[in-house]
């Protein structure tokens, strides 16, 4: 039995775009950025909001949609992704709204604002073309880390090397599973990277 598809599927699940925001916040909390200055209780509460709004609620909605016989849970066509992306944008905005009610650094809300913009752009593109949401997620995280590194003068080369390796593995996994073409992989990464980088570096 060929192990490549199983390994590719593993990385596609572990690095799913809905998991990336929570993983990103966890990484940044322990990498010398603003998050390191927060108390443990503050970090925990922040992570709960992020996890609920960017992962749990979207996943539950996808589960409910899968009961609809007209919805293709594999989302093989680009248009199948429009409704899940629209619902995700709403949940992400709820996270953005509740973060605004907390006494936290504004950069936290900027992260979610940039992610919401990426989702909206993915939604619009998906109406006509199948772009990689997975690569947009990991590309956005890399763009955010680079932008924060420049803003704060922090050397995050080790973290970036790890993320770039993971991005390469994820892109290869999506190609092995035949979910995307190389152009769709590169386009997703570039979109996520540029939106997060530009918003975080200038706001």
User: Taking the model in full, what pTM does it have?
Assistant: 0.92
Largest CA distance in the chain: 53
Q: How many domains is the chain built from?
A: 1
* Chain segment 62-93, per-residue pLDDT in tens: 989 888 877 877 787 888 899 999 999 999 99
Q: Is residue 72 part of a domain?
A: no
Q: Is residue 178 part of a domain?
A: yes
Q: What is the dihedral of CA 51, 52, 55, 59, to 10 degrees?
A: 150
Phi/psi region, residue 102 (left: phi>0; alpha: psi -120 to 50; beta: rest), is beta
pLDDT at 1: 45
Q: Is residue 5 part of a domain?
A: no
pLDDT at 38: 67
Domain residues for 178? 12-64+77-202
Residues of the chain with confidence (pLDDT) below 70: 1-2, 32-38
pLDDT at 37: 61
Q: Is residue 197 part of a domain?
A: yes
pLDDT at 29: 75
Cβ-contact 121, 195 below 8 angstroms: yes
pLDDT at 191: 98
Cβ-contact 123, 143 below 8 angstroms: no
Q: Is residue 198 part of a domain?
A: yes
Q: Is residue 128 part of a domain?
A: yes
Q: Is residue 161 part of a domain?
A: yes
pLDDT at 105: 72
Surface-to-core class of residue 92, CB atoms within 10 Å of its CB (0-12 exposed, 13-18 middle, 19+ buried): buried
pLDDT at 77: 84
């Amino acid at each position: 039995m060929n192990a490549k598809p199983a390994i590719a599927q593993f990385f596609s699940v572990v690095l799913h775009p809905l998991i990336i925001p929570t993983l990103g916040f966890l990484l940044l909390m322990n990498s010398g950025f603003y998050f390191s200055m927060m108390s443990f209780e503050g970090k925990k509460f922040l992570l709960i909001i992020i996890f609920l709004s960017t992962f749990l609620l979207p996943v539950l909605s996808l589960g409910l949609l899968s009961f609809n016989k007209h919805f293709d849970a594999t989302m093989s066509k680009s248009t199948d992704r429009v409704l899940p992306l629209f619902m995700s944008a709403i949940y992400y905005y709820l996270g953005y709204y509740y973060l605004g009610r907390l006494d936290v650094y504004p950069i936290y809300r900027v992260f979610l604002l940039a992610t919401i913009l990426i989702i909206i752009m993915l939604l619009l593109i998906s109406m006509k073309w199948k772009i990689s949401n997975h690569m947009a997620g990991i590309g956005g995280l890399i763009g955010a880390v680079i932008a924060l590194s420049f803003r704060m003068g922090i050397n995050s080369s080790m973290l970036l090397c790890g993320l770039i390796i993971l991005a390469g593995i994820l892109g290869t996994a999506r190609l092995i599973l035949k979910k995307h073409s190389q152009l769709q992989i590169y386009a997703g990464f570039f979109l996520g990277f540029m939106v997060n980088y530009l918003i975080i570096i200038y706001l």
